[in-house]
Amino acid sequence: MRCKAHAKSFAEGTDSYTVALSHLHARKPFRIRTCEKRRCKSSGIRTYKVIGLKIPWNQHLQKKVGVGVSRLPPFSLSTCCPASLKAARKRRALTHLAAEAILEAGELSGRACEVTPSAASQAMHRVYFDHNATTPVDRRVLEAMLPFFADEFGNASSIHSFGQRTRAAVERARESVAALVGARPAEIVFTSGGTESDNQAIFGVVAAAPGRAGAGRKHVITTAIEHHAVLNACQALERRGVEVTYVPVSQQGRVDPEDIRHAIRPETVLITVMHANNELGTLQPIEEIGRIAAEADVYFHSDAVQSAGKLPLDVNRLGVDLLSISGHKLYAPKGVGALYIRKGTRLEPLLYGGHHERDRRPGTENVAGIVGLGKAAELAREELSDGATRVAAQRDRLEQALLEQVPQAWVNGSRDHRTPNTANITFPFVEGEALVIALDLKGLACSTGAACSSGAIEPSHVLTAIGLAPEDARASLRFSLGRDTSEEDVEFALATVPAVVEHLRELSPVYKKPVAAQ
């Protein structure tokens, strides 16, 4: 027998276990806090209500509830079986997936049960301000992709008509992506996303670079605020004997091109600097660095994952030899991206296999994903100017109002050189991840920084690189707006964030509320 959680569960004599999301805290699994006993008046059956169970931060109820990692809605779990909470009374630490942990607390593992989101969670108005983490697939993109999941299923490498139809779709998408960045179609290589594109560029250039006469070990230049797809790749190169220089940035989050120039050595084979920072939105002086790289005859790669689709891109104007983009940051699906490789660039493949992508990236093409990326690139070109202006106005309004309403808050990074959708704000005396969870409970989704670093113990390397103290870095939130953000969404955020910050500050032992002037 299967029972759904609902308001009358106690009256029916079932054992009900309710997990309170307010007990969730990043990296700190929570244990059973209270065990409340009740006895049903009509049936006399004893029931229990558990408040708080240990659920590891990155474990979730995907199969049962269908929600994302670490962002669970309030939910209830009911079962028709009588249960003992002996484990709960002993404050036993539960270590299995959330659903199994709850069942084990009641010694019901393997019994029939069902988890359902609460009605309040389902009815809550929700606003998404985390577009730098990922974007929803545009409906027009989805429509373009759908035929290639079933009807147009051919392998794009096949020479028969089934394969040639999908090949034609891939090449049309290649043309669209090339047009987005000002490149030639033959210079676009499709990948699985930004991380692969970055790794292909970095490892590929270094592997292909010949040793220079009289030079020492190969040398790479990057910055201290790169995405981990670049930083960790560079650290891997260091373990292989390659020297890497990490150039610092200013308090505004921008690198000085002259610092790049001074870091160049005879053995330098690659400079890799991101176009737009994923946490701050800060733009780097790519054109100036491109000229410096060209003068030194050094290959130049830029991670443009956060700028593609938000700003005009032209690889020739920027002066880059390689440029990475990712589909899911511009309303295409996850799992597809592209790497621009200037004609003549020496590059070793990252993977080995067939002769796909002109021997630069083996593997059967993800046709549906590539078609989606192509359509997203086409839409980005058409809507870029008007969309960027509208989003920037909304971002500025949100930012200014929050600074006015929340005492002692400030904006991080350059406010003059940044993407139009991003605001990174520090709210001192508040734990950032607690604030994210509290806002999520109110219906507002934002983040403390890079989604790829969610759950990390250390404060953001980007925020500490611009001079923030660890406690201030942990008190910072990133609001990243998107194509579908409305004025009502901004109003909702302005009505929600100040109140939640004030509430959390009241709980802080170090916050002193400003005294109003008499």
| Catalytic residue annotation | 452
Looking from the CA of 309 toward its CB, the CA atoms found within 13 Å total 30
DSSP string covering 9-48: TTTTT-EEEEE-GGG--TT------EEEEEE-TTT--EEE
- SS3 letters across 5-16: CCCCCCCCCCEE
DSSP string covering 253-303: S---HHHHHHH--TTEEEEE--SB-TTT-BBP-HHHHHHHHHHHT-EEEEE
- Of how many residues is the chain composed? 518
Using only the alpha carbons of the chain, give its radius of gyration.
26
Residue 383 has which token pair? 């809507």
Residue 45 has which token pair? 């059956």
**Residue 473 contacts residue 460 (beta carbons within 8 Å):** yes
Helix (H, G, I), strand (E, B) or coil at 476: strand
Kind and range of the H or E run holding 51: strand 46-51
DSSP string covering 102-132: HHHHTT-TTS--EEEE-HHHHHS--EE-BTT
Beta-carbon contacts of 419 under 8 Å, excluding residues fewer than 6 positions away, are 276, 281, 283, 306, 307, 310, 311
452 secondary structure, DSSP code: G
Give the pairing of strands 422-426 and 410-411: antiparallel
**Residue 303 contacts residue 283 (beta carbons within 8 Å):** no
Helix (H, G, I), strand (E, B) or coil at 196: helix
3-state DSSP: the chain helix, strand, coil percent, rounded to 5? 35, 15, 45
**Residue 411 contacts residue 280 (beta carbons within 8 Å):** no
**Residue 9 contacts residue 78 (beta carbons within 8 Å):** yes
Rounded CA-CA distance 32/144 in Å is: 49
**Residue 24 contacts residue 72 (beta carbons within 8 Å):** yes
Beta-carbon contacts of 66 under 8 Å, excluding residues fewer than 6 positions away, are none
Give the pairing of strands 243-247 and 268-272: unpaired
**Residue 21 contacts residue 72 (beta carbons within 8 Å):** yes
